[in-house]
Structure 1
C-alpha cells in the first residue's frame, strides 16, 4: 500500500501560523520552531501554502518567481532547513503549486505585455481589443475576467484577480516551464504537491470552456510523466467541479495522474444551487450523507479520496456546521470523527485541531481578503443591504480561516509580539494549544487519538482498506456508517445536531472504542446526547433506532 494512504496531512497557512521575527507575519522559521508540536499531534505530512516570491495580491497565490522565497517568509536557506528539520521528525513537505496563473509581476508576463512579438506573449491568453470586452466571462473574484493591456491594445484573461493572469497551457513552453519548477522542488526534497485550481489549466476559449477542458487529462498525464510519477510522492488536485466519476480519472490506481483530488461536492451543500457561495442555504444532513456515501462507495478500489472540512479558503467547520458556543468541543470532535474513520487521506487545517472558530469582523477595515472586498462592492451596487452582506462574510468569508493560530493566552495568542497582519480572534484566551495540550478532554488530544487510530492502531488497515456502508441514511440527525475488513467491523455513530437521539438494543457484544463524551456507556442501550459521537467494535445489526428526540 502506498504510504500516503495511511498519512495524515496538516495544512499550514504560513502568514498566520507563527511569526519568528515579530513583524506580524508568520514565516518559515516560525514553522520550524513549532515542528515538535506537529510531531506531538502525530501528522506526517505538511501541506505548505505558497511561500514563493509574490506581491501578495492574493496572499501568495500570485507567484512572481517560483524559484525564490518571499522575503517576508524568509530565504531559500530557511526553506531547506524546514525540509531538513521536518524530515528529522518523519514529517514530509507538500508544496502548493499554482500552475493555472502567475502574478502580473512574473518575468513571463512582464515580457508578454511589453510586445506582441515577445516569445513570452503566447504564454498567456490574449484577445485583441475590438472596443468591447471579448466576452461576459466573470472572474471567480466577481469582476470581469478580462483586463485591457494598453501597451499592446489587447485584453488578457484572469480568472481570479487582475494581478493573476492565466497561463496558456496549450503553449508547450508553458508546460515545460511548470515541469521545470516541479522538478526543482523535487530535487530540494519535497515529497508532494497540491495543485491549485488544476481543472482550469486546459481551458478552451474558442468554445468558452473554462473547467475540464478537453486536453485536461492528457496534460496532467504529461506533467506526471515528466515530473512526479514513480517518485513516491503524494499529489492532490484542487478540482471544484469534480464528480466521483471524474475523481476516478484523476486518482486512477495506475498513478497516471494524481494520488487524489479535493472533491468539494459536500462543501457546496449550504449554497443556493446556481448562485454564489454567499447565498446561504441550511445544510441538509441527508444530502451530506449521500454525498459522502457516493464518494466512499464510488472510489473504493477505483481511486482515492481526500477527507477535509476546512482549508484556507473555507470557514471554520465548527462554526459552519457545528455549534461554536455551548457545544464547541463536542461538535468539533464529532465532525472530526465523521471524517477520520472514512477511507481516504485526512487533511487538517491549522487550528482545526483546537476547535478554532470563525471570527466576526466588526469593521470593513478589519477584512483582508480580496474576494470579500470584491463581493462587498458588487453587492452594494446590486442593492444588497450591508448587514446582509456582512452576515454572508461572517459565515463564508475566507478571512475566517486566516486569523493567527492560537498558541497560548498571551497577547496576540502567542503568534507574534508585533502587530498581526490580521486581527486575532479574541477567544484565543480560552481556545489555545497550551491550554489543550495534555488535557484528555480537549479537542487537540481527541485529534491526536484519531490520528493514532489511523496511523498506528490495530485498526489502521481497516480504516485504510475496509468497505464502507452508510446506515440509517434517512435519519435527519444521525450520521452513521460501518467499516469492515477481514471479519472486523466498526460502527461510527454521530449525532449531528443539538437534540438527543435514543438508540435501544443489545449492546453486550459491543466494545466502545472512542467517544467524544467522557462518560459514554453502552451497557443498556445508548442515548446520543447533543453532538455525541461513538465508535463501536462488533456487530450492530440488531440495534433499533427509535428516532426519539429529547
Structure 2
C-alpha cells in the first residue's frame, strides 16, 4: 500500500495557529481569550480552515507566555475557564473544525506542584521528576549553555542545580523516570478524552539528555557553550516517543506534530515521523527560515533573500521526504519573525506576501497558517529593548557583552519572537479591533491599512489570495499527493517547481526579486492561479514583474 496517499484527515486539512494572548479579546479585559476564539469560528470557516492549533492557555506564571505550565488541568484566568475550553471544542465541531492543543512535555513551570514540592522537601517523591545535579565547586555542574542565554543550570540550593535549557523558571523534566512519563501520558489522555484531536508537542527533540553531563568541548567565546547536541535529537528520544505513541496516540488516533529543533538531518526527521516509525505524524524543522543575510544586515531595508539557498532548503526536504514521511508547510509560527518582513519586500509588501504563499503552499504537505499571515502582517517597528516582552530576547540581550549590545539589538528588532506576538489586526478601530480597552499588548501602527475587515472586502487582497490557494489545495489532490520536481533558479530570483500525477501537470513559478525578468516556459493549458493582473502569456516565454507568481497547468 502507498502510505503517502493513504488517507489521513490531517493530510488534506488546513491548519491555523492561534496565539491566544494576542488573538481577540472577547471579554474586554485587554487580553485575548478562549471566548475570542469561539467568536471567530465563522471567520475560520470563511477562510477554509479545518483545524486550530492553539498555543498554551494552561494555568501559568506566564514567564514564557504560557510555555511554563503550572497546572495542565486548569486554564489561566486571562484566557477564561475550563468550561470555555469545553464550549470551544463542541462549538468548533459544529463548524467542522478540530482543535489541536500545544502540549509542553519537556519542562514545567518552577511553580508547578511537583517542583514546588522538590524545592520545599529534600525527600520529595517528585525529586526524580526533574534533572538535579551536584554543584561543581559552587558553580553549575558543567558548561552547557541555555537556548535563552547564560547557563543551562539554575541553583536549587547551596549544593545542587537543576537543568533548565530554556528559562530559569522552566525546569526540565526527567523522561528517564517511568513514573514521570506515566504522569505526562495521563495529562495527554485527559485532554483527548475532553475532545481535542491531537497535539503539537513543544520541544519534543529535547526530552532526552546526555546523562554523562560532561562539559562541552565546542569552542566558545562565552563561559557557557551553545552545544545543542547535549540535549537535542539524542537516540533515547525515540524510545520515549514510541512509548507515548503506543500508550496515548495510537489508541485515540490522535494527530501529533512535533517541534524538532537542533538542526536535524533528513535521517533524524525520518526517525521521528517516517510512515513506519509509529512515533509522530509531522515534525517542524526550521532551516528554511533564515535563507538571507540576517546575520550581517543592520535593518530590514538591508535584508536580501538568498533565493538559491531557499530553493535548495525547500527542495531538500520536499524531495527527500516524499513517499517516506509527511511534511508541514509553514512560513510562520510563534517563534519566528513575520515572513513578509523576512523574505518579502518593503516596496511590494502585499504582492510579495502572495508570492510567498504561492511558493510554500503549492508544495506537498499540510498547510499551517499563523495568525495574521493571511493578511500580510509585518514585523513591529521596535526601537528599544524596553519594548520587548519575550524572556528569550531579554535573556540573550542580558548575556550579550556591552560592546556588542547595540548590534545585537538591531538583529533582535528583525528576528525577535515578539514580532509575531502583536495584536491581531481585525479592523481600523481602536487597538486594531483586538480590544476596546487599554491593553499592554503591542498594536502595529499599520493596522489601519492592514486588517481583516478591509481585506475581506477587497477582491485583490492577501486574505482573498489565501482563500483561493486554500480552496485550490483542498479541491485538487495533485497539490496534496502529487510528485514534485524543482527546476534551476533563474536570474538568482525565480524559483520554479512542477507538481504532477497521472491526471494533472502544473508549473509553479515565483519571482522573489524586485526587477522584471523573462523566462522560458512549456506549453500552457491554463492559468490556475496568479497574483498579478497581467495574465497574457506568450507561447514560449513569461514576463515576470516584481514578486509575480503563477500556478500554470501545462502539457
- TM-score, normalised with respect to structure 1: 0.93
Alignment check: 8 A CA contact 1:56 1:62 kept: yes
Structure 1 residue aligned with 2:272, among 246, 250, 253? 250
Structure 1 residue aligned with 2:488, among 449, 469, 472? 472
Alignment check: 8 A CA contact 2:510 2:549 kept: yes
Q: Quote the offset at 1:336 in angstroms.
A: 0.5
Secondary structure at 1:427 match in 2? coil
Q: Quote the offset at 1:475 in angstroms.
A: 4.7
Q: What is the CA–CA distance in structure 2 between the aligned matches of 1:408 and 1:141, rounded to whole Å?
A: 35
Q: Please say if 1:284 is aligned against 2:306.
A: yes
Structure 1 residue aligned with 2:512, among 471, 478, 496? 496
Give the equivalent residue in structure 2 for 1:310.
Answer: 332
Structure 1 residue aligned with 2:392, among 371, 383, 386? 371
Give the equivalent residue in structure 2 for 1:352.
Answer: 373
Q: How has the CA–CA distance of structure 1 residues 71 and 333 changed in structure 2, closer, same or farther, with 3 Å as cutoff?
A: same
Q: What is the CA–CA distance in structure 2 between the aligned matches of 1:307 and 1:498, rounded to whole Å?
A: 25
Q: Quote the offset at 1:271 in angstroms.
A: 7.0
Query: Gaps spanning 5+ residues in structure 1: where?
Result: 540-550
Secondary structure at 1:205 match in 2? coil
Q: Which moved more, 1:115-124 or 1:67-76?
A: 115-124
Structure 1 residue aligned with 2:323, among 296, 301, 308? 301
Q: Which moved more, 1:205-214 or 1:235-244?
A: 205-214
Give the equivalent residue in structure 2 for 1:393.
Answer: 412
Structure 1 residues 468-547: aligned runs within 5 Å? 468-473=484-489, 475-504=491-520, 507=523, 509-524=524-539, 525-539=541-555
Q: What is the CA–CA distance in structure 2 between the aligned matches of 1:335 and 1:453, rounded to whole Å?
A: 16
Q: How has the CA–CA distance of structure 1 residues 505 and 471 changed in structure 2, closer, same or farther, with 3 Å as cutoff?
A: closer
Q: Quote the offset at 1:438 in angstroms.
A: 3.4
Q: Quote the offset at 1:176 in angstroms.
A: 0.6
Q: Please say if 1:338 is aligned against 2:359.
A: yes
Q: What is the CA–CA distance in structure 2 between the aligned matches of 1:420 and 1:54, rounded to whole Å?
A: 20
Q: How has the CA–CA distance of structure 1 residues 109 and 351 changed in structure 2, closer, same or farther, with 3 Å as cutoff?
A: same
Give the equivalent residue in structure 1 for 2:222.
Answer: none
Q: Which moved more, 1:413-422 or 1:219-228?
A: 413-422
Structure 2 residue aligned with 1:113, among 96, 105, 119? 119
Q: Quote the offset at 1:298 in angstroms.
A: 1.1
Secondary structure at 2:447 match in 1? helix
Structure 1 residues 153-164: aligned runs within 5 Å? 153-164=159-170
Q: Quote the offset at 1:214 in angstroms.
A: 2.4
Secondary structure at 1:119 match in 2? coil
Secondary structure at 1:519 match in 2? coil
Q: What is the CA–CA distance in structure 1 between the aligned matches of 2:269 and 2:553, rounded to whole Å?
A: 31
Q: Please say if 1:148 is aligned against 2:140.
A: no
Alignment check: 8 A CA contact 1:406 1:428 kept: yes
Deviation string 1:227-275 (CA, Å, 9 cap, x unpaired) is 01153322110001322222222112136111110011212434789xx
Secondary structure at 1:510 match in 2? strand
Alignment check: 8 A CA contact 2:308 2:489 kept: yes
Alignment check: 8 A CA contact 2:282 2:328 kept: yes
Q: What is the CA–CA distance in structure 1 between the aligned matches of 2:491 and 2:347, rounded to whole Å?
A: 24
Secondary structure at 2:79 match in 1? coil
Give the equivalent residue in structure 1 for 2:17.
Answer: 11
Q: What is the CA–CA distance in structure 1 between the aligned matches of 2:337 and 2:96, rounded to whole Å?
A: 30
Q: What is the CA–CA distance in structure 2 between the aligned matches of 1:368 and 1:131, rounded to whole Å?
A: 31
Give the equivalent residue in structure 2 for 1:226.
Answer: 247
Give the equivalent residue in structure 1 for 2:217.
Answer: none
Alignment check: 8 A CA contact 2:108 2:173 kept: yes
Secondary structure at 1:67 match in 2? strand
Alignment check: 8 A CA contact 1:290 1:473 kept: no
Structure 2 residue aligned with 1:168, among 167, 174, 181? 174
Deviation string 1:423-466 (CA, Å, 9 cap, x unpaired) is 200100010000011321000010011110111x2x2x111111
Alignment check: 8 A CA contact 1:197 1:240 kept: yes
Structure 1 residue aligned with 2:404, among 367, 384, 387? 384
